[in-house]
Amino acid sequence: MSTTVFIPIITVDGPSGSGKGTICRLLSQQLGWHLLDSGALYRLTAVAARHHGIPMTDEESLKVVAAHLDVQFLAGTAAEIKIVLEGEEVTDAIRTEAIGADASIVAAMPSVRQALLQRQRDFAALPGLIADGRDMGTVVFPEARLKVYLDASAEERASRRYKQLISKGLSASLEDILLDIQARDERDMNRSISPLKPAPDAVILDTTQLTIEEVLEVVLDEAKHKGLR
Ligand SMILES: Nc1ncnc2c1ncn2[C@@H]1O[C@H](COP(=O)(O)OP(=O)(O)O)[C@@H](O)[C@H]1O
Ligand SMILES: Nc1ccn([C@H]2C[C@H](O)[C@@H](COP(=O)(O)OP(=O)(O)O)O2)c(=O)n1
């Protein structure tokens, strides 16, 4: 007789700059669970395509790139995960706004999403998984015990991104970032496949006026309610 092992999963979805990555890293540290940064897979597909000279319009070739991504997620210092693509470290290179925009374009292609689906599900392992993305609660892990949807005003999200870039010593324009965020929201929310939207059973949290610590506390409380800690 085979038994199915229950793997606890917390999904965290939401638009760019809502705080998903930050909260997911902290949750993964506090609970000691695995972490899936699904956005990184779409970013890596865009970077690999650029390396191979494939235009972001060529869905047939992009699907092949996504299906054969040669990537390793290596444990680095603290919560930092080192990402190696085709033997080259790309941890920072995949985080630019330009790659974010390309990722959002390839992510609207059904065959690219299909090619990455099983790879994402394979991250589920004991003692548990924190899954960060756009469709974690709706499509990839619909059985997750706790689903969180983080949101914040576009202006607040742009301001967070702006501060993040400036603190890294990069130059940035707040207006350009706001326009980029609005364009990405529009594409991610209105695509025909797996659009960004809260799962019907998601806990929706507007973080515009909340600190990172406050958001973490609410999510940890919800996890406790669901018997996850
Ligand atoms: N509640 C918050 N209040 C203020 N700044 C935040 C908050 N949540 C996240 N940030 C900051 O906003 C930036 C973007 O957060 P991030 O976690 O990368 O968002 P996402 O993964 O949703 O794109 C980071 O610099 C992070 O420190
Ligand atoms: N599960 C996911 C994760 C990301 N995407 C797409 C849509 C996003 O605009 C890009 C980049 O995602 P990522 O989470 O890395 O971006 P942000 O950190 O939120 O700016 O990938 C997706 O369609 N589905």
Catalogue all structural domains in the chain, each as residue range(s) with its CATH number. 9-218 (3.40.50.300)
Q: What are phi and psi of 96, to 5 degrees?
A: -70, 160
> For residues 127, 131, 132 and 137, what is the CA-based torsion angle, rounded to 10 degrees?
-150
Give residue 17 CA to ligand 1 midpoint distance, Å: 5
Q: Is 16 annotated as a binding residue?
A: yes
DSSP assigned state of 6: P
168 pLDDT band (50/70/90 cuts)?
A: confident
Q: Is 128 annotated as a binding residue?
A: no
DSSP assigned state of 65: H
Helices and strands, counts by H and E, the chain: 8, 8
Q: Is 76 annotated as a binding residue?
A: no
Ligand 1 atom closest to Cα of residue 16 = 23
Q: Is 20 in the pocket of ligand 1 (CB under 6 A)?
A: yes
Distance CA(77)–CA(200), nearest Å, equals 36
2: pLDDT strictly greater than 80 = no
Run of H or E including 133: strand 129-133
Q: Is 63 in the pocket of ligand 2 (CB under 6 A)?
A: no
pLDDT, tens digit, for every residue of 47-69?
Answer: 999 999 999 999 999 999 999 99
- Is residue 158 helix, strand or coil? helix
Average pLDDT (6-12) is 97
Distance CA(104)–CA(87), nearest Å, equals 24
171: pLDDT strictly greater than 90 = no
Q: Are 47 and 85 in contact (CB under 8 A)?
A: yes
Range scoring the smallest mean pLDDT among 77-86, 168-177, 190-199: 77-86
Report the first-to-last Cα separation within the chain, whole angstroms: 29
CB atoms within 10 A of CB 112: 24
CB atoms within 10 A of CB 73: 18
pLDDT, tens digit, for every residue of 128-165?
Answer: 999 999 999 999 999 999 999 999 999 999 999 999 99
Q: Is 43 in the pocket of ligand 2 (CB under 6 A)?
A: yes
The residue whose CA has the least distance to atom 4 of ligand 1 is 211
**Whole-model pTM?**
0.97
